[in-house]
Amino acid sequence: MLPMQRAYQILNNTYGYADFRLNQQDIIGSLLQGRDVLALMPTGGGKSLCYQIPALARDGVGIVVSPLIALMQDQVDALQQLGIRAAFLNSTLNYGTVLQVERELLEGEIDLLYVAPERLLGEKMLALLERLNSSVGIALFAIDEAHCVSQWGHDFRPEYQQLSVLAERFPGIPRIALTATADQRTRQEIIQQLRLQNADVYINSFDRPNIHYTIRQGQNARQQLWRFIADNHPQDAGIVYCLSRKKVEDTALWLAEQGRVALPYHAGMSADTRREHQQRFLREDGVIIVATIAFGMGIDKPDVRFVAHLSLPKSIEAYYQETGRAGRDGQPSNAWMAYGLQDVITLRQMMQESTASEQQKRVEHHKLQAMLGLCEMTTCRRQALLEYFGEPTPEPCGNCDNCQSPPEVWEAAVAAQKALSCVYRTGQRFGVNYIIDVLLGKDDSRIRQFGHDQLSTYGIGTEHSQAEWRNIFRQLIALGYLSVDVDGHGGLRLTDKSRPLLRGEIELHLRKEQMRERVRKERNRA
Ligand code: ADP
Ligand code: ZN
């Protein structure tokens, strides 16, 4: 039988699927010919089959490197249910089980082995693989979540950079690297670090046309969320992401009070409770899971109808990956988000307080700015998203908030000048609330104590409300005209971009949030 016929047979008989999807067939074809592969496929695209089927069709064991230790047991259980001889090796196993798996491997009783990267790199494991290679054989190496190799990426794992050892020690064995997230730069890093210069590269479109994108500003975010859920998803399953554990618990409780089954999920809960909530989400209909980003990697539920963010993801990659958990079955689904100024400040502070290197912090800052750019843009969000992943599209999508109701903008240069000069004159060390109080000419003891009631900018902003000023400041930060200081107090500073704006050399168009809200209400009433 031809290898590809064998692959089809496995697809039909073992998995029970009629046909390959997307690039699966070509990817499998390359591996069956012994070639290396880099496969970029969106979440839910069906990456696993791309290495599982050739591992089964070729002689020897398929070795799968995966960072998701917590999921290995489930993955292996699922494979065993299909009748596939799968096993895993990671730090959760006791010594006896490890020995047993090793014995079964050498006796040719295992077809697929999942290994954590740090385990694979140990000399003991490499020696075992060499014995395996010269006895039952190794069918292929699959490196899952390959973006972990990238320092530029959001899931950097130093061990991944050492996986080039596989190319050195096992030169004839095909390797496939897979990821759902890769901008141009990450892609290049994967190729270099993993020595995939000669690999066949398969890139599936990252477009998820069935997902509708909405990003709103976050006043009364919870109320907005409820209106969104009640109007669009009264009975659907969905995920609500929040930044903090407390917000997760509060929001779950609140949604439950509105009559929905809403379960919290975060790293501070016991493993048992987390597992129980995850199982209920997977098995029952219409459950909402309210989670920190701890939830989701490897979750495979096809009919998640909405993913809502009650806070800002820290990068476009994270946003894409999290929203990508909606609508895996291809049915219309919503990615909805409400975010506010406080999110930006909190995220900046978290990034600054982390133990990451200066270089890493710069990268994170840059990525957050890109995410803010996506939030504040006034044109098609899908185009911007795909552009970010190196996939320019000629036409606006017609299936995002900006396409469907283009935001109104206003000429905000004068307001911005007032805001920037107030930041400057108060010494570039105060947070947003204080600056707004000065602009509004608030009678406040702190302002008097600093003598800021004597400044020329004191009370020059009364034509805007407090809420409007918060909108203005949020956009100025998002667009890079102001930066949130890194001292942990959220002080605002001018940036290189501020100067031409202050000198009146450029125009500035900002979104008109309040107006949009009013227009929408009137439309609804009509
Ligand atoms: P990814 O790892 O890319 O997120 P998975 O490999 O988990 O995606 O696959 C997502 C879902 O699609 C799984 O339920 C899988 O069984 C299913 N699937 C994959 N390939 C096919 C196919 N050719 N036909 C039907 N379903 C498929
Ligand atoms: Zn659009």
Residue from 300, 304, 320 whose mutation best tests the ligand 1 pocket (most atoms within 8 A of CB): 300
Amino acid at 370: A
Where residue 486 falls among pLDDT bands split at 50, 70, 90?
Answer: low
Task: Decide: residue 439, CB within 10 A, 0-12 exposed, 13-18 middle, 19+ buried.
Answer: buried
Closest ligand by atom to 21 CA: 1
Tokens of 326: 């909606």
Q: Which atom of ligand 1 is nearest to the CA of 180?
A: 3
pLDDT at position 42 is: 79
Residue among 8, 11, 12, 21 to mutate when testing ligand 1 (max atoms within 8 A of CB) = 21
- Which residue CA neighbors atom 26 of ligand 1 most closely? 17
Which numbered atom of ligand 1 lies nearest the CA of 18? 24
Ligand 2 is an ion; its neighbours by CB within 5 Å are: 380, 382, 396-397, 400, 403
How many angstroms separate the alpha carbon of residue 260 from the centre of ligand 1? 29
CA 295 to chain CA centroid, nearest Å: 11
**Residue type (1 letter), 88:** F
pLDDT score of 101: 96
Q: How confident is the model at residue 46 (pLDDT cuts 50, 70, 90)?
A: confident
Angle at 316 between CA 467 and CA 232, to 5 degrees: 65
Q: Which mutation among 43, 49, 179 tests ligand 1's pocket best, with the greatest number of atoms within 8 A of CB?
A: 49
Q: What's the pLDDT at 361?
A: 83
pLDDT at residue 514 in the model: 52
- Strand 262-265 and strand 288-291: the pairing is parallel
**Position 394 pLDDT exceeds 90:** no
Ligand with the closest atom to the CA of 209: 2
CA 483 / ligand 2 centre spacing (Å): 29
Average pLDDT on 76-99 reads 94
Two tokens, residue 47 = 């990456």
- The number of the ligand nearest the C-alpha atom of 378 reads 2
Q: Is the pLDDT of residue 518 over 70?
A: no
Question: By mean pLDDT, which of 52-56, 202-206, 261-265 is the weakest?
Answer: 202-206
Closest atom of ligand 1 to CA, residue 45: 3
Taking only the tens place, the pLDDT of each residue in 247-305 is: 999 999 999 999 999 999 999 999 999 999 999 999 999 999 999 987 876 677 989 99
Locate the ligand 1 atom nearest the alpha carbon of residue 47 and give its number.
Answer: 3
CA distance 358 to 207: 33
pLDDT digits (tens, 9 = 90+) for 491-516: 899 999 999 999 999 999 998 875 44
Using the atom order of ligand 1, give the atom closest to the CA of residue 48: 6
Q: Which two tokens stand for residue 166?
A: 């596989």
**Euclidean distance between the first and the last CA atom of the chain, given in angstroms as a whole number:** 67
User: Do 512 and 456 form a contact (C-beta atoms < 8 A)?
Assistant: no
> Closest Cα to atom 23, ligand 1: which residue?
20
Sign of the alpha-carbon dihedral angle for 173, 17, 146, 129: negative
The whole-number pLDDT of residue 74 equals 87
* Phi, psi (rounded to 5 degrees) for 143: -110, 100
Ligand having the closest approach to the CA of 405: 2
Among 327, 351, 357, 372, residue whose Cα is nearest residue 477: 372
CA-to-CA distance for 247 and 222, rounded, in angstroms?
10
Q: What is the pLDDT of residues 352-386, one digit of tens each?
A: 888 888 888 888 888 898 999 999 998 999 999 98
Greater confidence (225 vs 369) lies with: 225
Angle of helix 513-525 relative to helix 466-478, nearest 10 degrees, comes to: 120
pLDDT band for 487, please (50, 70, 90 cuts).
Answer: low
Q: Which of 273, 275, 277, 312 is nearest to 293 (CA)?
A: 312
Q: 482 and 476 in contact (C-beta within 8 Å)? A: yes
Nearest residue by C-alpha to atom 19 in ligand 1: 46
Stretch (H or E) spanning 201: strand 200-203
Average pLDDT, the chain: 91
**Residues at CB less than 6 angstroms from ligand 1:** 17, 20-21, 24, 41, 43-49, 300
Supply the DSSP string of 316-368, one letter for each residue.
HHHHHHHHTTS-TTSS-EEEEEEE-HHHHHHHHHHHHHS---HHHHHHHHHHH
pTM of the full predicted structure?
0.70
**Cβ-based neighbours of 139, under 8 Å, separated by 6 or more:** 54, 55, 56, 58, 59, 60, 61, 62, 111, 173
For the cut 80, the answer to whether the pLDDT of residue 406 exceeds it is: yes
Ligand nearest to the CA of 42: 1
